[in-house]
Amino acid sequence: MANIHPEIKPSGVEDKYLVDLMYMLQRSLQLICTKLDAESAGLNTYLANCYTALMTVRVTDYRGNMTTGESVVDFVVTPVGLSTEALLLWIYEWINAFETLVEQLDGDAAVYDDTDYEDLCYEALITPYQFESGRYDQTTILGNDVTTGGFDGSEDGAPWLTTKIGPVGRPNDRVLADLFYDILNGWETMCEKLDADAVAAPPTDTDYEALCYEATVLMRVENSQGNVLGNSQTRLG
């Protein structure tokens, strides 16, 4: 039975759904990077740079499927075992991987003429957030403030309007719902843009959204304004 109602919502975020969505997004990231490497006329380092080198959290969904390809595994999370430390690390690393991916797309002139992936898919949609890892070797603050891409903590960026995620403390359900809604928005926008740009430049495939979003991210997220994004999946119960 297809579930048309959001599983992730501000009124309550259950770990079993959150971990499933983490698995789907990490799997989608791996698929897109692998697909870009196979089809690219230029760079073939998307998987190495944007996934393998950056993801250290291995995620198992409720069906027992497990992410693969991480060069180092610091945490293994399951629907019944999601610690705050692992959640914050996964969020930081996935955001870092997403930003690295859109920056590489912008710099890969042999593949795409457009150089606005980061502007349109990351800076404009995943904002205003400040992400910190808490790990000694991940000291860079990620995210976007309300005025410009990137987070610098300056007054012109209105830091008092920025949602801080990490380095300690689990975000509340409203923050998690809003964040994952914004993540889906940015991810879907990037997939749509990959399909649209493939018409003018290699790679020629126009099925990024179909394969890496619609067929992979099978969950719905509602944000605190009542907007819903995502795709239907079989009900977990």
10 Å CB burial of residue 155 (0-12, 13-18, 19+) is exposed
How far is the C-alpha of 16 from the C-alpha of 13, rounded, in Å? Answer: 9
Backbone angles phi, psi at 17, to 5 degrees: -75, -40
What is the number of residues in the chain?
Answer: 237
Question: Looking at the DSSP assignment, which residues form a beta bridge with residue 131?
Answer: 142, 165
Give pLDDT, residue 5.
81
Give pLDDT, residue 135.
81
**191, 210 Cβ separation under 8 angstroms:** no
pLDDT digits (tens, 9 = 90+) for 184-216: 999 999 999 988 887 655 556 789 999 999 999
For 103, 121, 135, 150, 221, the CA distances from 144, given in Å and listed in that order, are: 14, 12, 20, 4, 21
Question: Looking at the DSSP assignment, which residues form a beta bridge with residue 222?
Answer: 228
Give pLDDT, residue 155.
43
Give pLDDT, residue 237.
41
pLDDT tens string, the chain, 237 residues long: the values are 345 688 999 999 999 999 999 999 999 999 999 999 988 667 889 999 999 999 999 999 999 999 999 989 999 999 988 999 999 999 999 999 999 999 999 988 766 667 889 999 999 999 889 999 878 788 888 988 765 545 444 444 445 468 999 999 999 999 999 999 999 999 999 999 988 887 655 556 789 999 999 999 999 999 999 999 999 875 444
Tokens of 136: 């000694």
For 37, 148, 154, the CA distances from 159, given in Å and listed in that order, are: 38, 12, 7
How far is the C-alpha of 164 from the C-alpha of 129, rounded, in Å? Answer: 6
Give pLDDT, residue 154.
45
Question: Looking at the DSSP assignment, which residues form a beta bridge with residue 76?
Answer: 58
pTM across the whole model = 0.90
**55, 26 Cβ separation under 8 angstroms:** yes
CB burial of 25-37 (b: ≥16 within 10 Å; e: otherwise) equals bbbbbbbbbebbb
